[in-house]
Structure formats: C-alpha cells, structure tokens
Amino acid sequence: MPDDSYQPRPMAVPASRVSRLARFGGLASGVAGRAALQGLGQIARGARPELRDLLLTPTNARRLAEQLAQMRGAAMKLGQLMSMDTGELLPPEIAEIFARLRAEAHYMPPKQLRQVLTAAWGADWHRRFARFDVRPIAAASIGQVHRALTKDGRDLAIKVQYPGVRRSIDSDLRNVAALIRLAGVVPKELDMGPLLEEAARQLHDEADYVREGRALDRFGALLKGTDGVRVPALHDDLTTPGVLAMDFAPGVAVETLDQAPQDLRDRIARRLLALALRELFELGLMQTDPNFANYRYDPATGDLILLDFGAARAVPETLAAAYRRLLRAGIRGDRDATRAAALEIGVFGPDTADRHQAQLMQMLELAFEPLRAGAVFDFADRRLVTELRDRGMALAAARDFWHIPPADTLFVQRKLAGMYLLAARLGARVPTAPLLAPYL
C-alpha cells in the first residue's frame, strides 16, 4: 500500500550532532518498544517469536526508512546502500520500503537553502543569477540539485550540500550500524568495524565537492570524444566544498526506460557495461557508486549522461591486472588459475576453510558459464542471479564464514554488481564477447 509519508517535501535537515543523536535515540527506543509489545502479545497467544521477526517488521522498517530520509547525510546514504545490497535478502514488503530511499529525499525549505548558499557564496549571491529555481530538480542523501541561469547566460545544475553532513558522518555511521544490528539485518558475528571505517572514508570524500569537481573534470577529459557518452562541464568559479556547479544536462533517468524499445535498452546497457570495463582496465579510475540515478539518457542526442563523481576512486594497477587474470582464467575454464586470481583479488582469504573456498569457486564457475558461451546474455533471465543469491545465502548462513574483501575490491565489486542490476532492470540483451575481447 502506498505510504504518503514518503512523498518528497520541504523539511529542514537536522544539522547539529545533538539533534541528529536525539533522532537516533527516539528511533531506537520506538523500534524496541514496538517489538516488545508485539512479542508480549505473541507470547500471550502461546507463540515463541524470534527477535529478528519482531524487530524487522514493515512498521519498523517504514519508520527507519522515513527517519533516514528526513535526516539525510550519511544516515540516508547507508540506508540506500542497504536497500541496494540486501534487497534479495529481505522480505519483499520490507525491501520495497527500503527501496524508497533510492528515490528522491525530502529537500531543504527555502529559508535553510538561502542560509547554506549565503554561507558558501556571500550575502549577495543572488545577484549573479538571472534565475535560480528554489524547488530542487533532484534531492538525494548528501545534497540536492537546483537548476539556475547565470546573468552571463550559463544554464547550470547546482548541487547544494545539506548543512552538517560532513561533521556528522562518523557519528551517523556508528548510529545507523547500531540500528541495523538492532533490527537483525546483519549477523552479530560480523565485525562491521572495517566496513564502517571504509564507508566513513568514502563519505568524507563524497562530501568534498571541490574533490568531486576535480573528478568531474578528470572524467570529462578522459571520456572526451567517446561516442554516445557525455560528462557535464564543471564551473569552478561557483564550486566550493559544499556547492558544486556544472552544466545542466537534460535527460531522463535510465532506470525509467524499462519499457522502451528493446534495441534502445540493449544499447544503453551495452554502453554502461563497456564503460565499467574501460574504467577498470583502461582508465584506472572508477566511479564506484552504482546508484541508478547517476545515469541519464538524452533522447534528443542519444547520449548517456554521467552524473555524480563523488565516489570516484583510483583502481590500483595490481587489482586491475588480477581482474584481467580472473577473466582470462574463468572464460578458459582454468580452475587453478581462477582460484589464484580470486585469492589475489580477495574473494576469499588463504585462511578460508576449504569447503567455503569450494562453494565460492562453484559460484564463480556459474558466473562465467554465460561468458564462455559467447552468445547474447539475457539480463532479464533471473535464473543465474537467483542461483547465485541462493548459494550466497547458504554460505552466509555458515557462522564460521565471514570474510570481508579488501576495500578496493569491495568498491569495484559494488560498481560491477550495480551495472549488472541496472542491465537486469532494463531487461537488456547484450553480446558479452565483444565487450570482453579487448581485455583478454
């Protein structure tokens, strides 16, 4: 049933640490309180409820998702990642609630927006613009985007960061992790410390818009002349650590084209996959945030438009070489070489139990089967991903197996998995051999 509380609306961002901590405290007590009441009711009826089932209910999930959407910042960002990465592991009605976090967030009311822009540009900032649309054209976890026209005729998209985001990253991550543990989404045996440290490092990078501007410029230069791909130009005279100005690029969200003609969907997916491989093996630089909203399509030009380079990071040459060896070995069916490359990448560790290594090798062999065939791969066919998901869940159920790959590997895998999911969302059919051939 649709929930009107999820409709984007103007809502001030809680900017101070005290106000954000109070939100988390109220949310945690509310979730625990409802779970206790439900548990008592079930016990009174003679049932023996599981704690996870009491905590992870649609009501609690809806409250958690709504609070994260209101808080924005690192809190919402982690919720978005959870919605992408655990959607296959949660009950469908709960996964749907968390998926709403990938849609537009609430946005700052005009008064708060003006305060943020005045702090960034000075009190007379409005004199530089012929028009500045107060209602954002997009709102996400860290900032919102406005369209503006400068007095010298530049049509811009201006991303404005929510106040307090940078200084609340570390505390937000700790508090969200505690809530996720409370809700039973991750097993208590899993040490989330390394993951949270890397997530904090990445989010601090994403919250630095000057850094993102440099990455935007770099990608623009690297992809200049690439047929069918466009990167908006940076306007550094209006860019600060909390405001990013770039060309406005018209287009529609790629994920909304799931009912477009098949050849268009195939062409877009092929372009996305080719770009991801090029980032990994050729450019040595990858935009590692696979959020579907980062990709748009311009029907007027047929261009794929790339947005949001806050998560851009260098790919070490050693890692790219190891992925190349994995591809070669997997497609050849060389089990020993596949295992050696997987170990080098960090798919599993040297201390991983033999039976778990064998399970992971079976999953790799499954993933390589369609690539060996050399035919058109149908991303709409969910049988492979369902089989891999089931095997992954069985492996996750083994309490003696919790392996966290190295950070660089995690981010590359996140991007590649995201492109797979987007191609599946489009129901695309793509010949894989021509895409992989240059890197084998």
Any idea which residues carry the catalytic annotation? 289
Distance set, CA 304 to CA 136, 296, 333, 336 (Å): 22, 6, 34, 39
- What is the per-residue DSSP string for 200-257? HHHHHHHT-HHHHHHHHHHHHHHTTT-TTEE-PPB-GGG-BTTEEEEE----EEGGGG
Length of the chain: 440
- What is the per-residue DSSP string for 353-386? -HHHHHHHHHHHHHHHHHHHH-SEEETT--HHHH
* Neighbouring residues of 376: CB distance < 8 A, sequence distance ≥ 6: 429, 430, 431, 432
The closest alpha carbon to 318, from 406, 221, 416, 194, belongs to 406
- The two most distant CA atoms of the chain are separated, in Å, by 73
The closest alpha carbon to 252, from 303, 288, 291, 217, belongs to 303
> First CA to last CA across the chain, in angstroms?
49
* Neighbouring residues of 345: CB distance < 8 A, sequence distance ≥ 6: 319, 322, 323, 326, 405, 409
